[in-house]
């Protein structure tokens, strides 16, 4: 028997089918997920959509209030979901809305004062690597390895907070418009 990779390989793993060596019908089929870490820290879909919506408002700031429909068309985001996200952003004080003819959404503050960290936090809650609690002090750990891992998860969350806090909507607008270089990627 040999393990043949399943056609659906992904960055997070792959599936394997066990077949007979002569290529006949599988003797037994099973799928195993082999987990691999690709180094990515994930931002939720809500965080991504919220950031895209506010970047669109920043890019079109001079146009005045923008309707949800226009934001959805420019960004390719689903309008019903975008409406929910904009309500959360309004509640967080990142956008204001105007009703009636010519109404829509505008940024509540200048683009230079709104960071990606604020946007993501507004729709997802605090930026953290996990909801595992705070590291214990003085080595008072309940289980082996718990203290060191809690400290690492807290550190990773802090680094992500700093990284997202380093980008403002004004900077993203400049990058999008071609007035500034794209961030370096490895």
CA–CA distance, 122 with 112 (Å, rounded to integer):
17
pLDDT at residue 87, as a whole number: 95
Among positive and negative, which fits the CA dihedral 154, 155, 156, 157?
A: positive
Model pTM score = 0.71
Residue 78: what pLDDT?
95
For the chain, which ranges sit under pLDDT 50? 1-35, 37
93, 150 Cβ separation under 8 angstroms: no
What is the tens place of the pLDDT at every residue in 39-83?
Answer: 555 788 999 999 999 999 999 998 999 999 999 999 999 999 999
Fold of 45-176: Arc Repressor Mutant, subunit A (1.10.10)
For the chain, where do the domains classified as CATH 1.10.10.10 start and end? 45-176
105 beta partners: 66, 97
**Of the candidates 156, 91, 83, which has an alpha carbon nearest to the alpha carbon of residue 121?**
91
pLDDT at 46: 93
């Amino acid at each position: 028997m040999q393990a043949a990779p399943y056609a659906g390989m992904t960055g997070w793993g792959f599936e394997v089918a066990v077949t007979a060596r002569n290529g006949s019908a599988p003797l037994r089929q099973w799928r195993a997920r082999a987990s691999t870490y690709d180094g990515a820290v994930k931002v939720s879909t809500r965080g991504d959509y919220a950031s895209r919506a506010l970047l669109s408002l920043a890019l079109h700031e001079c146009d005045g209030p923008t309707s949800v429909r226009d934001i959805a068309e420019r960004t390719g985001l689903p309008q019903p979901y975008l409406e929910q996200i904009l309500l959360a952003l309004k509640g967080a004080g990142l956008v204001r809305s105007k009703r009636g003819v010519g109404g829509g959404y505008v940024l509540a503050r200048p683009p230079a004062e709104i960071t990606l960290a604020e946007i993501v936090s507004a729709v997802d809650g605090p930026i953290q690597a996990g909801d595992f609690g705070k590291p214990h002090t003085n080595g008072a750990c309940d289980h082996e390895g718990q203290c060191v891992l809690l400290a690492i998860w807290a550190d990773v969350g802090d680094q992500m907070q700093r990284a997202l806090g380093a980008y403002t909507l004004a900077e993203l607008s400049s990058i999008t418009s071609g007035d500034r270089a794209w961030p370096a990627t490895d």
